[in-house]
Amino acid sequence: MAHRVSQTAKQNPADIADCPAGERALGFAGVVADIFSKRRSALMTSLGDSALVIPAASVRIRNGDVDHEYRQDSDFHYLTGFDEPQSVAVFRPGTDEPFVLFARPHDRSREIWEGPRAGLEGARADFGADLALAIEELDAKLPGLLTGFQRVYYRFNGQSDFDKRFLAILDLCRRLGRQGKTYPTEIVDTETILHRARRIKSDDEVDKMARAAAITGEAHKAAMRLARSGLHEYHLDAALRNEFLQGGAQRAAYPSIVASGNNATYLHYVENRAPLGADDLVLIDAGCEYEYYASDVTRCFPVSGRFTPAQRELYELVLQSQIDAVNAVRPGATLQAIHDGVRATLAEGLRALGFPPPSSLSSSDQADIDAAWAKPYFMHKTSHYLGMDVHDVGPYFQDGAQLPLESGVVVTIEPGLYVPADDMAAPEQYRGIGIRIEDDVLVTTGAPCNLSSDIPKSIEDVERECARG
């Protein structure tokens, strides 16, 4: 499948030179509804004589009587487009009412406080439900809706607070079985049928991810321009959030990492409170969520606006490994092979820079030697899937072997080197430096399409952007 990124997604400001322009399939409610309808149609075909049950995400308490911002479950949104809590979607192929949506009815007294609801009428008219029922009827109605199906797809621990309720409903189904009715006796993880589909992105999904990357690019550039000694990491964090929301994103895709100096050697540092030192290198791992699709980008830059010689040497090494890895994102390639290539480049560079050999090594295989040499300073994988979830769903293996990449898959490419300040084995000039460079890359039928290519990455471009502040 060839994938195209529209000009609309690229407006202000990303220029994705390697991706030919296409047409954006959004902007009209009917077209948006049609996207979800087509997904459900494909799902029904895949389900065959099985049913699927997906609960909406639960409202979570932040503290006291304050809730966290609500964000719908990705699987639920992928099939319904319905963003309200206290909902359950049921898919029953081969029946007169294949898409059943349990939802909250209109309630004027609650809507005054919480905002408007779609109601049961909206669930049918606006979201395509063949049958809409009040969520209060779930326990009474769902057992009957599942009779006739021996296999039901459901993901335990997806929305764990619903699991106990679902098990009770299955028990009610068994009671119907005593009346001679077919009832579910096999529960299969949703991953096996739905997550394979989500692994391959449609043109519309790629469009949204390109837009998320464009907004993220503006955020990273704003942070580069803002940084200076005397500010704190939280000032840069605030600049990121501002650009995300000003650009039209709904939220950050994950807690932003804004790590200066030695903080950058901690992989998931999210405190974001330290002062920026004049000689610090800042690592920012931040992305936004646009219409439910995430970006995930990491850039590093010097607070002073100029890389020191030691920072430059480590940065150029990571950058070369990252560029090579991006170019390796092709159909048929595996993420492990790409990761092995990154480790080989980093290991060779670390040896050249005077880093010590591994303390013990029993293998004579070059790949094992490279892995051992790089591991103290590169301890994570190079890639993961990206989509509605920042660590997106989809299988990585099939029959025990790595699943090859194919057109439509989006992956991150994110090598790094992390040299703690207290690592006395490392050459002194590199201690306290953490570097990661990450892009979002679409697999196409030909050359890879780097969705985040517009964000400064070369030393020259990074220093130029910093100088604009």
Q: CB atoms < 10 A from the CB of 212, how many?
A: 33
CA neighbours closer than 13 Å in the CB half-sphere of residue 240: 31
Predicted TM-score (pTM) of this structure: 0.92
Read off the pLDDT of each residue in 150-171 and give the average, rounded to a whole number: 90
Read off the pLDDT of each residue in 65-84 and give the average, rounded to a whole number: 97
Determine the pLDDT at residue 31. Answer: 54
CA neighbours closer than 13 Å in the CB half-sphere of residue 190: 23
The answer to whether 285 is a known catalytic residue is yes
Read off the pLDDT of each residue in 297-314 and give the average, rounded to a whole number: 99
DSSP state letter for 275: B
The answer to whether 232 is a known catalytic residue is no
Concatenate the DSSP letters of all residues of 387-426 into one string: SSSSS--S-SEETTEEPPP-TT-EEEE--EEEE-TT-TTS
Closest CA to 253 of 63, 408, 69: 69
The pairing of strands 439-442 and 433-436 is unpaired
C-alpha distances out from residue 1 to 25, 275, 446, Å: 17, 48, 11
Catalytic residue (one of 207, 414, 439, 454): 414
Residues 6+ apart with CB under 8 A from 188: 50, 151, 152, 153, 154
The answer to whether 243 is a known catalytic residue is no
Catalytic residue (one of 205, 233, 280, 285): 285
Determine the pLDDT at residue 4. Answer: 55
Determine the pLDDT at residue 363. Answer: 80
Read off the pLDDT band of 22 (50, 70, 90).
Answer: very low
DSSP-based three-state secondary structure for 301? strand
Confidence check: pLDDT of 16 > 60:
no
DSSP state letter for 356: P
Reported as a single tens digit per residue, the pLDDT across 382-400 is 999 999 999 999 999 999 9
- Return d(Cα 188, Cα 199) in angstroms, integer: 19
Residue of 290 and 356 predicted with greater confidence: 290
Determine the pLDDT at residue 23. Answer: 30
Q: Hey, what amino acid is at 10?
A: K
Catalytic residue (one of 289, 296, 439, 465): 296
Block residue for tokens 């294949």 = 98
Is 420 buried (19+), middle (13-18) or exposed (0-12) by CB count in 10 A? middle
Q: Hey, what amino acid is at 222?
A: A
Determine the pLDDT at residue 10. Answer: 45
Confidence check: pLDDT of 11 > 60:
no
DSSP-based three-state secondary structure for 136? helix
Read off the pLDDT of each residue in 266-283 and give the average, rounded to a whole number: 98
Determine the pLDDT at residue 158. Answer: 74
Least confident of 70-79, 108-117, 361-370, 433-442: 361-370
Read off the pLDDT of each residue in 10-24 and give the average, rounded to a whole number: 34
The answer to whether 436 is a known catalytic residue is yes
Alpha-carbon radius of gyration of the chain: 25
- The share of the chain scoring above pLDDT 90, in percent, equals 85
The answer to whether 268 is a known catalytic residue is yes
The answer to whether 169 touches 143, Cβ cutoff 8 Å, is yes
Catalytic residue (one of 65, 365, 428, 460): 65
* Strand order from edge to edge, sheet including 281-286: 257-260, 281-286, 297-302
Closest CA to 115 of 144, 146, 83: 83
Catalytic residue (one of 78, 254, 269, 418): 418
Determine the pLDDT at residue 13. Answer: 31
- Mean pLDDT over the full length of the chain: 93
- Return d(Cα 260, Cα 416) in angstroms, integer: 15
Closest CA to 313 of 426, 200, 153, 236: 426
The answer to whether 418 is a known catalytic residue is yes
Ordered structural domains, the chain, with CATH: 48-197 (3.40.350.10), 200-467 (3.90.230.10)
Determine the pLDDT at residue 35. Answer: 94
The answer to whether 121 is a known catalytic residue is no
Least confident of 138-142, 178-182, 349-353: 178-182
DSSP-based three-state secondary structure for 240? helix
Read off the pLDDT of each residue in 447-464 and give the average, rounded to a whole number: 98
- Return d(Cα 304, Cα 231) in angstroms, integer: 12
The b/e string for 323-336 (b: 16+ C-beta within 10 A; e otherwise) is bbbbebbbeebbbe
Determine the pLDDT at residue 18. Answer: 37
The answer to whether 126 is a known catalytic residue is no
Confidence check: pLDDT of 27 > 90:
no
The answer to whether 438 is a known catalytic residue is yes
Q: CB atoms < 10 A from the CB of 155, how many?
A: 22
Block residue for tokens 């349990």 = 102
Catalytic residue (one of 436, 439, 454, 465): 436
The answer to whether 65 is a known catalytic residue is yes
Catalytic residue (one of 203, 380, 406, 431): 380
The answer to whether 153 is a known catalytic residue is no
Determine the pLDDT at residue 439. Answer: 99
Read off the pLDDT of each residue in 101-129 and give the average, rounded to a whole number: 97
Q: Which residues is 277 bridged to in the sheet?
A: none
Q: CB atoms < 10 A from the CB of 277, how many?
A: 16
Confidence check: pLDDT of 19 > 60:
no
CA angle 145, 150, 156 (to 5 degrees): 80
The answer to whether 332 touches 372, Cβ cutoff 8 Å, is no
- Residue 371: both structure tokens together: 């892995």
Q: Dihedral (C-alpha) 100, 47, 396, 452: value to the nearest 10 degrees?
A: -50
